[in-house]
C-alpha cells in the first residue's frame, strides 16, 4: 500500500453556520459541499479544508492541526483578512530567508495561518 496525497484537513465546530460564514466571508474560500450541521468542505487548492459538526456527547477537539494558506503578500493579505474581521494572535513570525507567517483562530479556536515564502534572489 502507498499513501496518496493529503486529500483534506478538517476541524471540529460547534456552530456550523458561524464556521462556514468565517471560511467563506473572512478567509474567502468557496464552499464545495455542505451536509447541514454535520459537514462542510471548501476548495482550498489541492488539499480541501472541511468542517465536522459536533457529535452529541463528544467534546470538541481543537488545536490538533493548523491549516496554512500560502499567500503572495503577507502584509496585504493580513490587512485584507483583518478588514473582514479576522483577529491575529501575534506579530508576524519569520524563519529568516525562508518564510514569514501570521496566525489567527477560527470561531471554534482552531489555528489558521497565512504564509509568504521568500522569493529566490530577493
How many angstroms separate the CA atoms of 100 and 116, rounded?
Answer: 5
DSSP string, 24-74: IIIT-PEEEEEETTTEEEEEBTBSEEEEEE--TTSPPP-SS-EEEEE-S-H
Q: How many residues in total does the chain contain?
A: 122
Q: Is the pLDDT at 102 greater than 90, yes or no?
A: yes
pLDDT in tens, 6-41: 889 999 999 999 999 999 999 999 999 999 999 999
pTM of the model: 0.78
Amino acid at each position: 500500500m502507498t499513501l496518496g496525497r493529503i486529500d483534506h484537513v478538517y476541524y471540529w465546530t460547534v456552530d456550523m453556520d458561524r464556521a462556514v460564514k468565517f471560511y467563506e466571508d473572512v478567509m474567502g474560500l468557496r464552499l464545495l459541499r455542505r451536509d447541514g450541521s454535520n459537514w462542510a468542505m471548501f476548495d482550498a487548492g489541492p488539499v480541501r479544508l472541511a468542517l465536522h459538526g459536533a457529535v452529541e456527547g463528544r467534546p470538541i477537539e481543537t488545536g490538533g492541526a493548523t491549516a496554512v494558506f500560502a499567500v503572495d503578500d503577507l502584509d496585504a493579505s493580513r490587512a485584507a483578512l483583518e478588514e473582514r474581521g479576522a483577529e491575529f494572535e501575534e506579530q508576524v513570525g519569520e524563519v529568516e530567508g525562508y518564510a514569514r507567517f501570521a496566525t489567527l483562530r477560527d470561531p471554534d479556536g482552531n489555528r489558521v495561518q497565512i504564509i509568504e515564502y521568500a522569493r529566490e534572489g530577493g
